[in-house]
Structure 1
Amino acid sequence: MKILHTSDWHLGQHFMGKSRRDEHKAFIDWLLALVDKESIDAVIIAGDVFDTGSPPSYAREMYHQLVLDMKARQCQLVIVAGNHDSVSMLNESKSLLAYLDTQVASQANLEEIDSHVIALKNKEGDVAAWVCAVPYLRPKDVMHSVAGQSEQEKKLGLLQMIGDFYQRVYDAACEKNKSLKTPVPIIGTGHLTAVGGQVSESVRDLYVGTLEALPTSVFPAFDYLALGHIHRAQPISKNGRFRYSGSPIPLSFDELGRDKTVVIVDTDLLAEDAFVDDLFAEPADPLQLVSIPNFQPMASLKGNLKEVIKQIAALELAADKTLWLEVTVIADEYLSDVHKRVLEAIDDKPIELLRVMRRSTVEKKNEGFEARKTLSELTVGDVFEQSLKSNLELDEDESIILTELFNACLVELEEHQQDGGEKPL
C-alpha cells in the first residue's frame, strides 16, 4: 500500500495580516489530485492541522471537507495533534470521524495504549501497516512532577517517560503483528523537535524549560517515522526513514529557498523481506518525495539599499498573482527614507511589501550559520570553520593555529575509535 506523510498545515493561519485561505485551498485540491494519481491508500497528518486552538470557521470547514473527500476516495486518514492543536476541539468530532475512516490521536492515553495503534488496510481489506499514532506529548500527559527535582533531573525524567511511552505503543503494535500470517511494517508518528532538525522562524519551541530536543535513540525501531513540527522537510536518520515532511506552504520568509514536499511511503518496499528479482540491481527506494507547487509568490531580499532596489527590478513577477515581499536593508548609518525608497521601487508592480527591516553590517558578520543549512548537511569541519568565521575577535594567524589543532584532534579521535576506544585520549 501507499501512505502519504504530511504535517504542519496550520489551517487558519494569518501571515503578517494576510490570510492563507486560498493557499490552503489550492494545496488541498492538489493533494486530492495526487491521492487519485498515485492511488494513495492512507494519509498521515503529523500534527498542527490548525494554527490555533480556536481556528476560524472556514478552517474547520476545510478540515471536515477533507475528511469527506478522503472517504469518497476510500483513502484512510490519520491525524495526530500538534502543539498548536486544541485537544478538546479535535475531540469534538473524533468519534464521528471514526465512522468516516479518519482516526484522530489528540492526546496521550497511558491507560489505553492499544488506542494509539491503528491498522491501515489495503484495497483488499487486509492489514498492510500498523500506525503508532503518537501526538504531541505534553509533559503533564506522560509524567508527574516530583518536588525538589533539579532541572537536569526533570529533563532526564521527561526523556525517559517519552521513550517509555513510545516503546509501549511500539510493543503493542508488535503484539498485533504476531496475529498476522505475515508481519507488516510499523509506522511511527511524532510531533516534536528531534536532535539534528533545523527549525525555522515560524516554529515554536517545544518542552521549553525542560527538554528542548529529543535524540533519535528515544524512538523504537520503526520502519518509518512520520514527524511533524519542523517546517523544513528533512531526514533525521542516516537511511532517511525518520523524517520531517515539512509544512506544505512557507509559514515564514526564512522557509523560502527549499522545496516543500510530501512523502509517499510504499509499505511493500519497506518490508525487510521484500523479494528482489535482480540481486545486482539497485534496491528500490520505499520513499518518494513529491514537490508541492508554490501557490503564493514570496520573496525575501537582503543587501544595501542600492542592491535591494536592483534585486526588486530583477524579480520575475506573475501577471495574475501579487508577490509578498520582505526586505532587509544592511547599513551602518541610519537611513530615514528606506521604506519610502522601497515603496517607490515596487510602484506599479504586482508586489505587496509586508516587512522592511534594518540591520548593521556587524550583525550580518555575526551570523553563525547559513539559515538554510541543516546540521545533517554539514561536516564536523564545516561546523568548526563556520564557528571560526563567526568569531570576529580572532585574527588570521590565530584561526590557522586553531584549525591545525582541531585537525590534529580529529586525527587522534579517529585513531582512538579505530583502536576500539581502548587507547586513552
Structure 2
Amino acid sequence: MNVLHTADWHLGMTLCGRRRDKEAKEFLDWLAGVIERESVDLLLVTGDIFDNGSPSATSQSLYYRFLTAAAAAGCRHIIITAGNHDSPAFLEAPREILEPLNIHIVGKAGAGHPGGTFLLDRPDGKPECIVAAVPYLRDRDIRHSTPGISIDEKALQIRKGVQSIYQEAWEAACIMQPEDRPRVPVIVTGHLFAAGGKTIEGDGVRDQVAGFIERVGADVFPAEAAYVALGHLHVPQKVAGIDTIRYPGSPIPVGFGEAEQQKEVIIVTTAPGIPAVVRSVPVPRFRHLTTIRGDLPAISDRINELRDTSDPVWAEVIYDGAALPGDLMGEVAGMVEGTPIEVLRVKDMRLVSAALSAYQSCEELAELTETEVFRRRMETAEIPPEQQDRLMTAFREVRRDMDSNEPDGGDLA
C-alpha cells in the first residue's frame, strides 16, 4: 500500500495582507499529480487544512476541488484529521456525504472516543491497513479541570491524558485486526508538538496543549505502529530520530522564516510483516520569498542580484546598518522600482533594539531634558559620532524655532 502523508496546508493564509490562494491551488494541482504518478492508495492529511475555523468560499472551493481531483487520480482512501487551526465541526459537517466516497474526516477526540479507526481494504476486498486517526487534542479532551492544581500537576494530567488516548486508539485498531489473516500494518496519526521538535521564528506554529505545558515524547505513540503521521510543526523532520515517526512540514512557506526551507510530502509503503519504507518527495517552490538584510549598500547589492529573476519576488527587508537613513522606506522603494521585487515588509533593527532597551531602563523620563533624551536615542541607535554632531545641531535649531514660535504660557509637551 502506498500512503502519501501531508499536513499544515493552511488554506486561506495571508502574508503581510497578501492572499496565498494562487500558491495553494498550484500546490494542490501538483499534489494530485503526485498521487497519480506514485499510485497512491491512501492520502493522510494530518491537520491544519485551513488557516482558521471559518474558511473563505475560495478556500473551501480549493479543498473540495482537490478531493475530487485526488479521487480521480486513483486515490482509494482519504483520511483527514483536524488541527488546532481547524474547526472540528466545520470539517466534520459533510462527513456523511464524503464517507461513501472513502473520504473520512476526524475532527475531535476524547476519553472513550480516541478519534476514528478505519480498516482499509484492497480493491479485491481483503484487509490492507488500519488507520488510528487521532486529531488535535484540546485541553478539555484530555483532562478534567481541577481548581487549585499546580502547573506540574496539570502537565502530568496532560501527559497521561495524551498517552491514554493513544493507548485507546491502539486497542481499537487491534480489535479490527483480521482473525484469519496475517496482521495488517497500523498507521497512527496526531497533531501536536513532539519533544525536540524544530521550529522556525515566524512560522506561526502555536505551541499549545500537548505542547503548551508539556511537549510529548515519542514514547506516547504505540511502538508497534508501522508509521506515525504527525502534523503541527512546519519543518520536515523525524521525531527522536525515528524514521517512521514524521512531520512532513508545511508544503508552502507560511512566512519569510521558512523561505529557504525545502518543503516535502512523504510517501510510505507498507505491507503485512514488512517494515514500512519511508521517503520524501520535494515540493516545488510556487512563490519566491526572500529576506534581504544588511546596511543600505548590502540591501542594494542583493536587490541588484534579484533584478533579472524571471519570477516575481516577495521580500522583507531588514535594515541593520549603523547609519541613520533619512527615509528608509523611500530608499528601499527606489531600489526595487522597475524590478520584479515587491517589498512586503521593512524592519529597522535599530528601532527594535531601542524599544527593547527602553524596557531595561529604570530612569524616569521626567528626570531628563529634551536634549538628553535625543542624545540617548542616538546612542541606542548606534549612530556614528560624526552623524550625531550634525543631528544634534539640527535638533537644537528645531528647538529654537519651536521656542520662538510658542505662544506665551504654551507647553511643549
Query: Into which bin does the TM-score normalised by the smaller protein fall?
Result: 0.7 to 0.9
CA distance in 2, matches of 1:155, 1:233: 27
CA distance in 1, matches of 2:244, 2:210: 27
Aligned twin of 2:46: 46
Aligned ranges for residues 329-368 of structure 1 at < 5 Å?
329-360=319-350
Pairing 1:294–2:276 present: no
- In the alignment of these two chains, the number of paired residues is 350
On the 8 A contact 2:229/2:246 being kept in 1, the answer is yes
State which structure, 1 or 2, has the greater radius of gyration over its C-alpha atoms. 2
CA distance in 1, matches of 2:308, 2:170: 49
Aligned twin of 1:136: 136
Aligned twin of 2:167: 167
Aligned ranges for residues 19-418 of structure 1 at < 5 Å?
19-75=19-75, 76-113=77-114, 116-179=116-179, 181-200=181-200, 201=202, 202-207=204-209, 211-221=213-223, 222-268=225-271, 271-273=272-274, 286-315=277-306, 317-319=308-310, 321-360=311-350
CA distance in 2, matches of 1:138, 1:242: 21
Shift of the alpha carbon at 1:336? 3.3
Q: Which digits, 9 at most, give the CA deviation of each residue in 1:244-290, with x for residues without a partner? A: 1011110010012221000000013xx5546xxxxxxxxxx711100
Shift of the alpha carbon at 1:158? 0.8
Q: Which digits, 9 at most, give the CA deviation of each residue in 1:332-375, with x for residues without a partner? A: 45433222221111110011100111224997xx9xxxxxxxxx
On the 8 A contact 1:71/1:101 being kept in 2, the answer is no
CA distance in 1, matches of 2:244, 2:326: 51
Shift in CA distance, 209/170, structure 1 to aligned 2, threshold 3 Å = closer
Identical pairs, percent: 35
CA distance in 1, matches of 2:337, 2:254: 26
Q: Which digits, 9 at most, give the CA deviation of each residue in 1:208-234, with x for residues without a partner? A: 995242121222212211111111111
CA distance in 1, matches of 2:126, 2:48: 30
User: Per the alignment, in what secondary structure is the counterpart of residue 5 of structure 1?
Assistant: strand
On the 8 A contact 1:130/1:184 being kept in 2, the answer is yes
CA distance in 1, matches of 2:210, 2:167: 23
On the 8 A contact 2:159/2:214 being kept in 1, the answer is no
User: Per the alignment, in what secondary structure is the counterpart of residue 286 of structure 1?
Assistant: strand
Shift in CA distance, 89/362, structure 1 to aligned 2, threshold 3 Å = closer
Shift in CA distance, 273/261, structure 1 to aligned 2, threshold 3 Å = closer
> Quick check: 214-223 or 31-40, which moved more?
214-223
CA distance in 2, matches of 1:231, 1:238: 17
CA distance in 2, matches of 1:21, 1:293: 16
TM-score, normalised to structure 2's length? 0.80
CA distance in 2, matches of 1:204, 1:333: 37
Instruction: Report the RMSD for the aligned CA atoms in angstroms.
Output: 2.2
CA distance in 2, matches of 1:208, 1:111: 18
Letter in 2 for 1:232: V
Aligned twin of 1:403: none
On the 8 A contact 2:188/2:228 being kept in 1, the answer is yes
TM-score, normalised to structure 1's length? 0.78
